[in-house]
């Protein structure tokens, strides 16, 4: 009878422990099971967060290494471009020198041919004078 009165007022008697509960004994066990699952979920969630933090830290380290490598490659590429530019400039200077030397050779060759013609003309003139 007392148990019926308690049940009508939303209170329940636990048969094992003889304690008065606000929750029906069937729901109490369900509540305990859900609480255990929630605690397990929270534990797994904390483990996941720790693992995710480790992965994130590793990714940040990899990004820093990639940035360093990228900057190093950019520096090497810049040096190679500078060397190529210097080589092209030196090549242009050498081509200009070769052109100058070719022009000078052409002028000297023409001058030499002119001198040879003059010498030949003089010899012919001397031969003509000596024969008369």
Give tens-digit pLDDT for 8-41.
Answer: 555 555 665 566 566 656 676 787 889 999 999 9
The H or E element that residue 12 is part of is: strand 12-13
Cα–Cα distance between 34 and 28 in angstroms, integer? Answer: 10
Give the model confidence (pLDDT) of 64-111 as tens digits: 999 999 999 999 999 999 999 999 999 999 999 999 999 999 999 999
Q: What are residue 20's DSSP bridge partners?
A: 13
Q: What's the sign of the alpha-carbon dihedral 28, 34, 40, 46?
A: negative
pTM of the model: 0.49
Long-range (24+ apart) CB contacts under 8 A made by 65-74 are: none
Rg (CA), the chain: 53
């Amino acid at each position: 009878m007392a148990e019926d009165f308690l049940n009508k007022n939303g209170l329940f008697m636990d048969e094992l422990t003889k304690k008065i509960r606000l929750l029906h004994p069937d729901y109490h066990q369900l509540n305990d099971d859900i609480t255990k699952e929630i605690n397990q979920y929270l534990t797994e969630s904390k483990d996941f967060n720790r693992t995710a933090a480790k992965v994130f830290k590793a990714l940040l380290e990899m990004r820093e290494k990639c940035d360093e490598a990228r900057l190093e490659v950019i520096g090497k590429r810049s040096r190679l471009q500078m060397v190529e530019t210097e080589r092209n400039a030196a090549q242009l200077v050498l081509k200009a020198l070769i052109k100058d030397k070719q022009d000078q050779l052409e002028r000297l060759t023409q001058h030499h041919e002119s001198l040879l013609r003059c010498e030949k003309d003089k010899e012919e003139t001397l031969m003509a004078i000596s024969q008369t």
